[in-house]
């Protein structure tokens, strides 16, 4: 198929960016979206033009490195990562607009590449169970009901791609933060620190400049791992009960 691509190009954070239009032909329906961009980049390189920079790594939907805001939706039209989006979702003659994630807390690095280290700093603020290597009990000493383990797992599948932030009109990171808080708050191992964790992670999230939540649910609707909105409710509960309890004052 033949396509027209409108791609955001920006040399570096300080330079002004803008859309550039490219025509591309001979795209097969079996290609992934990123393979289509590979074709574009080979074309551009052959012509001596700087290839379009975009983040990607595993190309199997799990590392969370690929991003791209495609025709107004993070990761494009389906609830998958961009690397799992295939060209059979588009038609011959389509115009596709490709932008980077847009959020103050995700500054642009180059073209479609953004800096998501704010997510790392949120995890560093408390997204863990404080155990050292060694000296832990036998794995089967703590029975965990299957339903609880499964619910925790559902939250734990977050890949940290940032689509939730990109989907949100306020660029809120509540879904990402709540997924980690939920995963650990549900499990007996993580319960011990659940209040302190919620307070610290929320504080860091605010510090990074992410916006507030209005319960619109766009984050969850666009999340490639289908992280549920109920995690945000759980996070709020943990956060409020932490602020009411005297433990961490």
Partner 1 sequence: MKLDSKIPSGPLAEKWTKHKFNVKLVNPANKRKYEIIVVGTGLAGASAAASLAELGYNVKAFCFQDSPRRAHSIAAQGGINAAKNYQNDGDSVFRLFYDTIKGGDYRSREGNVFRLAEVSVNIIDQCVAQGVPFAREYGGLLANRSFGGAQVSRTFYARGQTGQQLLLGAYSALSRQVANGKVKLYPRTEMMDVVVVDGKARGIITRNLITGAIESHSAHAVLLCTGGYGNVFFLSTNAMGSNVTAAWRAHKKGAFFSNPCYTQIHPTCIPVSGDHQSKLTLMSESLRNDGRVWVPKTREMAEKLRKKEIAPKDIKEEERDYYLETKYPSFGNLVPRDVASRNAKYVCDEGRGVNETGEAVFLDFRDAIKRDGEDAVRGKYGNLFDMYQQITGENPYQTPMKIYPAVHYTMGGLWVDYNLMTSVPGLYALGEANFSDHGANRLGASALMQGLADGYFVAPYTVGDYLANLPYEKIAEDHPEFKKAEEEVKARVKQLLTINGDKTVDHFHKKLGKIMWNHCGMARNAAGLTKAKEMIRSLKEEFWSNVKVLGTGEELNLSLEKAHRVADFLELGELMIDDALHRNESCGGHFRDEYQTPEGEALRDDENFAYVAAWEYQGDGKDEVLHKEELVFENVKLTQRSYK
Name which of residues 159 to 188 contact partner 1 (CB under 8 A): 159-160, 183-184, 187
* Binding mask of the shown chain, residues 15 to 34, with x at each position contacting partner 1 by CB under 8 A: -------------x-xxx-x
Ranges within 67-86 binding partner 1 (CB under 8 A): 78, 80, 84, 86
138 lies in the binding site for partner 1 (CB under 8 A): yes
Supply the DSSP string of 70-115, one letter for each residue: ETTEETSSSSS-GGG-BGGGS-TT-EEEEE----TTS-EEETTEE-
Please tell me whether residue 156 binds partner 1 under the rule CB under 8 A: yes
- Residue from 65, 105, 205, 213 that binds partner 1 (CB under 8 A)? 65
CA distance 242 to 149: 23
Q: Which residue has the tokens 């610290």?
A: 200
Q: How far is the CB of 152 from partner 1 (least distance, A)?
A: 5
d(CA 245, CA 249): 8
Selected from 116, 194, 195, 228, the binder of partner 1 by CB under 8 A is: 116
Supply the minimum distance, in Å, between the C-beta of residue 23 and partner 1: 18
CA distances from 53 to 12, 108, 109, 138 (A): 11, 11, 9, 47
């Amino acid at each position: 198929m033949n396509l027209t691509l409108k791609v955001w190009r920006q040399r570096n954070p300080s330079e002004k960016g803008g859309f550039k239009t490219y025509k591309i032909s001979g795209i097969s329906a079996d290609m992934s979206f990123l393979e289509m961009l590979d074709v574009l980049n080979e074309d551009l390189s052959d012509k001596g033009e700087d290839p379009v920079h975009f983040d990607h790594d595993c190309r199997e939907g799990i590392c969370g490195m690929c991003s791209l805001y495609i025709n107004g939706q993070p990761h494009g039209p389906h609830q998958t990562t961009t690397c799992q989006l295939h060209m059979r979702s588009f038609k011959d003659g389509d115009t596709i607009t490709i932008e980077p994630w847009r959020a103050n807390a995700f500054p642009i690095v180059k073209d479609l590449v953004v800096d998501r280290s704010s997510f790392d700093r949120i995890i560093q603020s408390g997204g863990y169970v404080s155990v050292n290597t060694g000296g832990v009990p036998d794995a089967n000493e703590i029975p965990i009901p299957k339903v609880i383990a499964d619910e925790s797992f559902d939250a734990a599948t977050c890949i940290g791609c940032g689509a939730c932030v990109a989907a949100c009109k306020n660029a809120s990171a509540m879904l990402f933060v709540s997924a980690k808080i939920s995963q650990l708050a549900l499990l007996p191992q993580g319960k011990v620190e659940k209040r302190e964790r919620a307070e610290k992670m929320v504080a860091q999230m605010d510090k990074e400049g992410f916006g507030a939540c209005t319960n619109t649910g766009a984050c969850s609707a666009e999340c490639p791992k289908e992280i549920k909105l109920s995690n945000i409710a759980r996070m709020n509960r943990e956060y409020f009960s932490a602020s009411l309890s005297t433990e961490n004052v």
